[in-house]
Structure 1
Amino acid sequence: MQQDQAVYGDVQFLTGSPHRRAVLDALCAEPARPHELCAEIDATRTTIQRILAGFREREWVVKHDGDYRATVTGRRVCEQYEALHEEVTRARRFGPLAAHLGPDADDLPVAALEHGRLTVSEGGSPLAALSRFTEWLGAVEGDMRAVSPVVAQPFNEIGAELLSGDTRIEFVIDSAVLEQSKARYEAELQFGVDHDQMTIYVHESPLSLGVALDDERCCVIAYDDGNNLKAILEAGDGELYDWATEVFERYRERSVPLPGLSDEGTTATEG
């Protein structure tokens, strides 16, 4: 317990002021004297001396012939702090996506968060993600596979346009979406059921996220509890594409094809 408190104190010391991180960064780059650090970091000599004293106490820095330099442990602390800072920055950026994806996205590849294109609906752009997803759907090339926990007329219209060409669509919905489609979009649902280029699957339990893939691209879609589209993450071929493919196939395997509107008892089975 005492050691944990000491470590916590060290963390607090480093993170307590941006000047401290800047001094450690500078000394990891090259040895320096206090007046040189004052000029580089724009801090008073008193501030720099206090920081250096704290670093020497923790043995992150040593003094030799008037110069201060980072020790190997000081360098490690600096590197790991930088990694933590980057991860927290990434978490803040992708928070609106992660918060609404549900447990099925727990294994979302980290590389996707580094290289994917993220669009978030927030503040002055409440429809940004919805607009971007509509654009994505309008640019589908080849066949499309999708999982969706919502139904909306704009998506029905785009789907009909895709089916008017050569696009084949495999579409996984849950039982709630099926019931909403029967109640509000009966003609559109029947069109999809009857079309020989479209296969609709029904998943019995609620879906927690959306995915869509064509031959070269994929996207992961996050909805809030009110079925409002909050964020969309896109990528081309790569780790996110492979992950989205696995998610789609997993849901499809746990679903059953929808043969027609007359089969009121049709539900999906869990695998």
Structure 2
Amino acid sequence: MESALEDIEFLALSANRVEVLDALAETPHTRRELQERIGASQPTLGRILRDFEERNWVEQTGREYAATPTGRLVAEGFSDLREIVETEQRLRDVANWLPTEVMTFDLRRLRDATITAPTQTRPNAPVQRVLGLLRDGAGVKIVSHAFNEQSMGVIRRRVADGTQTFEGVFSAGAIDAIADDSALRERLRELVDLPGAELRIVDDDVPVALTITDDVVHLFLRDDDGLLQAAVDTDDDTVSSWAHDVHDRYWNEARPLNADDLAD
């Protein structure tokens, strides 16, 4: 009997085999239907189907072939493995900076996420990505250990125009950093005073830099030295639900930030 690894290798080494098994796991097909769907030649399909029948992965009824229960199990498991590896490949360069200690969702939810990294020609690309989302968002929520000047400026203008609402929760350190700069402190005071904007402070550390703009969740990823390495954003429903839960939890634990708190 072949080992499990040998069967995995047998399947993985041929895209045609994978496609045939996936097709037959979905619904029965004739050989002609398989040829039209996959594009493989009839001799190739014949060899694949014979190999599958030897492994009891498919069975023939009349002119149609269909996956057996164990064939469907293999197809589903291989599909899961492929999805996991595709996700790992996509996240490989940023995985070390993901806030996995607070991420309660399956990482496969980030398989189709947009990843924005700095480049030599666009060193500020991650920030520009979130600024674009902020300019288009009607409702913005943030939980973060930092509040950069550019984001604050976009939010302040949009809220003042009445085109955006804002609920921000920041660590005390983030607010202190702004308050230490007189110009930034004044801009933050103006934002706090605007109808449609509400800011709160938490004394504990905030392990994420998370922005929710309408249906999009955006994460700034920083290294251990606090340097911005990348940004990840997605409109996945599960990630969105997680992000709103994180915001709600910090929001409920935080205290309001008032303009008086930013007095000179």
TM-score w.r.t. the length of structure 1 is 0.66
Q: How far did 1:44 drift?
A: 7.6
| Closer/same/farther in 2, CA of residues 229 and 159 from structure 1, 3 Å limit | farther
Contact 1:212/1:219 (CA < 8 Å) preserved in 2?
yes
Q: 1:257 corresponds to which residue? A: 256
Q: How far did 1:247 drift?
A: 1.5
2: distance between equivalents of 1:219 and 1:86? 21
Give structure 1 stretches of 5+ with no counterpart.
Answer: 264-271
| Closer/same/farther in 2, CA of residues 68 and 248 from structure 1, 3 Å limit | closer
Q: How far did 1:134 drift?
A: 0.6
SS in 1 for 2:217: strand
Q: Work out which of the residue numbers 68, 71, 74 in structure 1 matches 2:68.
A: 71
Q: How far did 1:109 drift?
A: 9.4
Q: 1:120 corresponds to which residue? A: 115
1: distance between equivalents of 2:251 and 2:91? 27
Contact 1:193/1:199 (CA < 8 Å) preserved in 2?
no
1: distance between equivalents of 2:155 and 2:77? 47
| Closer/same/farther in 2, CA of residues 229 and 255 from structure 1, 3 Å limit | farther
1:234-245 mapped onto 2 (5 Å cutoff): 234-235=234-235, 240-245=239-244
1:230 correspondence with 2:225? no
Q: Work out which of the residue numbers 151, 158, 162 in structure 2 matches 1:155.
A: 151
Q: 2:129 corresponds to which residue? A: 132
Q: How far did 1:171 drift?
A: 1.9
Number of matched pairs: 248
Q: 1:177 corresponds to which residue? A: 174
2: distance between equivalents of 1:52 and 1:213? 49
Q: Work out which of the residue numbers 141, 160, 163 in structure 2 matches 1:164.
A: 160
1: distance between equivalents of 2:140 and 2:60? 64
2: distance between equivalents of 1:187 and 1:82? 54
Q: How far did 1:14 drift?
A: 2.0
Q: 1:267 corresponds to which residue? A: none
Contact 2:58/2:65 (CA < 8 Å) preserved in 1?
yes
Identity of aligned residues (%): 22
Give structure 2 stretches of 5+ with no counterpart.
Answer: none
Cα RMSD for the two superposed structures: 4.3
Residue identity opposite 1:155 in structure 2: S
Q: 1:103 corresponds to which residue? A: 101
Deviates more, 1:17-26 or 1:174-183: 17-26
SS in 2 for 1:103: coil
1: distance between equivalents of 2:73 and 2:128? 44
Q: How far did 1:63 drift?
A: 7.3
Contact 1:101/1:222 (CA < 8 Å) preserved in 2?
no
TM-score w.r.t. the length of structure 2 is 0.68
1:212-223 mapped onto 2 (5 Å cutoff): 212-213=211-212, 216-223=214-221
